[in-house]
Chains A and B, each alone.
Chain A
Amino acid sequence: MTRIRYFGPLMELTGTDEEHLNITFPLTVGELRGALEQQHPALATESFRIAVDAVMRDTDTTLSAAGEVACLPAFAGG
Chain B
Amino acid sequence: MKKYIESLFHSLEQHVKPGKKYSKLYPLFEAFESFALSVRTVTQKAPFIRDFIDTKRYMNLVILSMLPCLIFGIFNVGYQSHLAAGLPLDIVSIMIVGIMRVIPLLIISYGVGLGWEFLSAIIRGHEVSEGYLVSAMLIVLTLPPTIPLWQAAVGVTFGVIVGKEVFGGSGRNFLNPALTTRAFLFFSFPAQLSGDTVWTYLMVGKDQLIDGYSGATALAVAASATGSVTDALVTSGFTLAQLFFGLVPGSIGETSTLLVLVGAAFLLLTGVASWRTMLGSVIGLVTMSSLLVVFSTETTVPFLSLPPHWHMVMGSFAFGTVYMATDPVSSPSLHASKWIYGIMIGVLTVIIRCINPAYPEGVMLAILLMNVFAPALDHIFLQRHIKGRIPNVI
Q: Do A and B come from one complex?
A: no
Chain A residues packing against B (C-beta within 8 Å): none
B binding-site residues for A, Cβ under 8 Å: none
